[in-house]
Amino acid sequence: MQRLLVLLSLTFLSATYTSAASLSEQIIGSAERFLEQLVQDYLDNSQITGRTSIPPLRLDPRLRLPTCDKPLAISQESQGEPIGRVTLGVRCSGSSPWRIFIPAEVRLYRDVVVMRRPMARKSKLAADDLSLREEDVSQLRQTYLTDISQATGQTLKRGVASGDILTSNLLQPSSLIKRGDRVVIVARSGDFFVKMQGEALSDGAKGQQIRIRNITSDRVIRARVVGPSEVEVAL
């Protein structure tokens, strides 16, 4: 009799373990498929090229959940894009409801612009100062660059070392106009425009608003730099 009880106990424990293991596999499998699709949709909608890597998801082995008699509902609980650290929620709304959270990590590898050599502050960047290198960008806090042309012609705000990843906060556009330069002021309204001569009262990079003195009227205006020796103002 005692032997029979032991056998029954072992059978029950084995069935319980199998059931728990099966549920864990179901949760992990469903969550991983959901996350893979979530990431792919994000990349497609954002038109981002790169490769991703998602380490296997894990559940706390001490977790004990009743079998769910309805399909699992999975959602992204963390805010923002599904890159880097992501939290998934898994919910059972069956006869024995429960809800758990699963931490995940999504790594995104892209070709980013890096320095080929050390350069000092205020150096102007040329294409041969830069190269592309694949990096995990999921943990980068600053805006990285993916095209060398994005940095070419810009000036460094601080010194950088060889191999450093170039980010937008390290760059400032080089001035197209210097204080004292003679410039052409283009006053535009739709297809109609008028040109006049002016003098720059401050330095300016493309897109910046700077002070310009109209040489004819001696009036000081603010105009947007559109190119070397040319600024534009709306009529």
| pTM of the entire predicted model | 0.69
Residue 21 pLDDT: 60
**10: enclosing H helix or E strand:** helix 2-46
CATH classification number, 110-172, choose in 3.90.1300.10, 3.30.160.340, 3.40.50.300, 3.90.1210.10: 3.90.1210.10
From CA 219, how far away is CA 221, in angstroms rounded?
A: 6
How confident is the chain (235 residues) per 10-residue block, as mean pLDDT? 35 38 89 97 94 94 89 95 96 95 97 97 93 94 90 92 94 86 90 91 88 93 91 88
The DSSP result for 99-139, as a single string, is: EEEEEEEEEEEEEEEEESS-B-TTPBP-GGGEEEEEEE-TT
Tell me the domain boundaries of the chain.
Answer: 16-107, 110-172, 175-234
CATH number of this structure's domain 175-234: 2.30.30.760
Position 170 scores a pLDDT of 93
Q: Give strand pairing partners of 189.
A: 192
- Contacts of the segment 192-195: beta carbons below 8 A, 24+ positions apart: 192/235, 194/235
Angstrom CA distances, 96 to 34, 70, 108, stand at 23, 10, 38
